[in-house]
Amino acid sequence: MRHEFNLVKLAENIYEIPKTKKMARVEGQVKSFEMLVPARVYANEALLSKIKTDQTLDQLTNVSCLPGTQKFAIGLSDAHQGYGFPIGGVAATLEKEGVISPGGVGYDINCGVRLLRTSLNDGEVRPRIKELLNALFDNVPSGVGSSGTIGAITPKDLDDILENGVSWAIKKGYGWEEDAANCEEQGCLPGNSQKVSGKAKSRGKTQIGSLGSGNHFLEIQRVAEIYDQTTAKALGINEVGQVTAMIHTGSRGLGHQVCTDYLRTMEQAVRRYNISLPDRELAYVPGHTPEAHDYFEAMCCAANFAWNNRQMITHWVRKSFSDVYKRKAEDMDLHLIYDVCHNILKKEEHVVDGKKLMLNVHRKGATRAFPPGHEKLPKHFQPTGQPVLIPGSMGTASYLCVGQPRAMELSFGSTAHGAGRALSRQEAIRNYRGREIANQLQMRGIYIKAQSDTVIAEEAPGAYKSIDQVVQVSHDLGIVKKVVKLVPIGVTKG
């Protein structure tokens, strides 16, 4: 149903839809739902006008009807229509009485971004970029039906991955000891592999170390601008022109199946608990129920799988640099700066109305952005705040930021996760030719290697919102601080 929303501007970049009753059509009947909290959007006028063109606000007000929701349902500056919950949103609910919903995390559990630094500069990398992209393309399989180069892993190894997180890959030699400390949650959440179905395990068994397709990518970048020298230095970024590598992928078929399985489980539970939903994809159960507990443990497993996936890819990135430059990765300073999740559910403590509460924080297309001094950050990030990685679309800039104190007040310690689409894929294919886009990017010094021209058209820079504006809104709100702007030199896509 199309709604007119009463969007009130509270301050620069802050808009709110006050609590109200809302009507929704459910299986042919119109039902009334009560918004328990306001819905908030953090955006500037230009981004907001894009957000208004799809179902984002309708979905966001549905989220604000979920039992136990605290403060407000949040749409970030990159928000767009999703399924059930919008993408680019945060919903925090009371740990026990509040709800847990697989739709609030999404199908690609622990889809996330990782950034590696190097001691190379663009003058050394540009002349060999094609060689480097070819090596990456061979070492990191991508596209439909892509399996990792190590083939199928044993059921025992898979269980180890699902329960012990990124330490599996590091133990097997696919990483450096220090890598785990530079991942959100140190690359491990408390999973129980028995809660993951045989189907999900079967979908994941060959996919570890593969990129997938769609908006996932592997990118070689150069530092274009440094906004905060001190923080940049602390994170190992010393000068403009320095080269970095970014990895964007998630938990592949394993995570997709975990979400599908538990969406179905919760749907049955919804009937049993007699819950009425404005949208079937919002299926939820209260946090204290066995279904909620099982989903959380399975989701943690999928998150652990994703960290191993990005870790394996990290290994192949290091190897690709090593092969091309005939130097050890260690000698090229290929350290992991950080690894963030942007589709995840966390149990976190937050202050609501002056009280500390344990909450289920659903981040769907949202990145954690804890400020300096936050107790959950490891010691080495205490002075800087948590590194936040916000990737742009293909061919546009990405940002390295750090979390700031106002994130705790405004967004449950969260910020945007990327540019967010502005055009549908069909419109993009109608408007752009993959080959032309690739040629235009090449003239700007950006090489693209993709499985098909169609994916290049779908992912054309013009099909996305402006990443610069998305990040600027978070920066101006004091949710994050911009540290470094990165622009691509070479991209491989599925």
Partner 1 sequence: MARDPTTGHEFISHPADIQVAVWAPTLEALFRETALVLARLMVPGPEIALDREIEVVTEAEDVKSALFDWLTEVLFYSDSELFVLGDVDVRSVESLPGGRYRVTSTFKGEAFKKGHHVSGTEVKAITYSYMTLEREGEGGYRLEIIFDI
Interface contacts to partner 1, rule CB under 8 A: 53-54, 80-84, 87, 106-108, 142-147, 199, 202-207, 212-214, 252-253, 256-257, 259-260, 263-264, 267-268, 279-281, 421, 423-427, 451-452, 454-455, 458, 494
The 3-state DSSP class for residue 252 equals: helix
Nearer to partner 1, 103 or 387 (CB): 103
CB of 298 to partner 1, least distance (A): 15
CA distance 387 to 480: 9
Sign of CA pseudo-dihedral 328, 390, 340, 149: negative
Say whether 454 sits in a helix, a strand or coil.
Answer: helix
CB of 9 to partner 1, least distance (A): 24
- 148 Cβ contact partners less than 8 Å away, ≥ 6 residues apart: 141, 206, 207, 208, 209, 210, 309, 312
Q: How far apart are CA 220 and CA 490, in angstroms?
A: 5
Is the CB of 110 or the CB of 213 nearer to partner 1? 213
Q: 88-111: buried (b, 16+ CB within 10 Å) or exposed (e) per residue? A: bbbbbbbbeebbbbbbbbbbbbbb
CB of 481 to partner 1, least distance (A): 29
- Among the listed residues 342, 362, 374, 417, the single catalytic one is 417
118 vs 213, which CB is nearer to partner 1? 213
Q: How far apart are CA 246 and CA 248, in angstroms?
A: 7
Instruction: List the one residue out of 417, 412, 196, 400 whose CA is nearest residue 303.
Output: 196
Nearer to partner 1 by Cβ, of 81 and 242: the residue is 81
Tokens representing residue 293 in the block? 């507990």
Active site residue 248: no
The closest of 263, 261, 292, 259 to 68, measured between CA atoms, is 292
CB of 427 to partner 1, least distance (A): 6
Structure tokens at 157: 């190894």
Q: How far is the CB of 274 from partner 1 (least distance, A)?
A: 15
CB burial class (10 A; 0-12, 13-18, 19+) of residue 492? buried
Contacts for 433 with CB less than 8 Å, ≥ 6 apart:
453, 457
Q: How many CB atoms lie within 10 A of CB 177?
A: 9
Contacts of 421-426 with CB under 8 Å at 24 or more apart are 421/80, 421/463, 421/464, 421/465, 422/50, 422/462, 422/463, 422/464, 422/465, 423/462, 423/463, 423/464, 425/458, 425/463
Nearer to partner 1, 437 or 455 (CB): 455
Task: Find out whether 469 and 46 touch, Cβ atoms under 8 Å.
Answer: yes
**Residue 408: CB minimum distance to partner 1, A:** 29
**Minimum CB distance to partner 1 smaller for 271 or for 288:** 271
Q: For partner 1, give the closer residue by CB, 422 or 486.
A: 422
As a whole number of angstroms, the distance between CA 314 and CA 367 comes to 20
Residue 243: which residues within 8 A CB-CB, separation 6 or more? 118, 120, 121, 122, 124, 125, 220, 221, 222, 223, 489
Q: Is residue 465 within 8 Å of 78, Cβ to Cβ?
A: yes
User: 70 and 98 in contact (C-beta within 8 Å)?
Assistant: yes
Identify which of residues 82 and 413 has a Cβ nearer to partner 1 in the complex.
82
CB of 218 to partner 1, least distance (A): 15
Nearer to partner 1, 206 or 404 (CB): 206
Between CA 69 and CA 72 the distance in angstroms is 7
The dihedral sign for the CA sequence 147, 151, 152, 156: negative
Catalytic residue numbers read 417
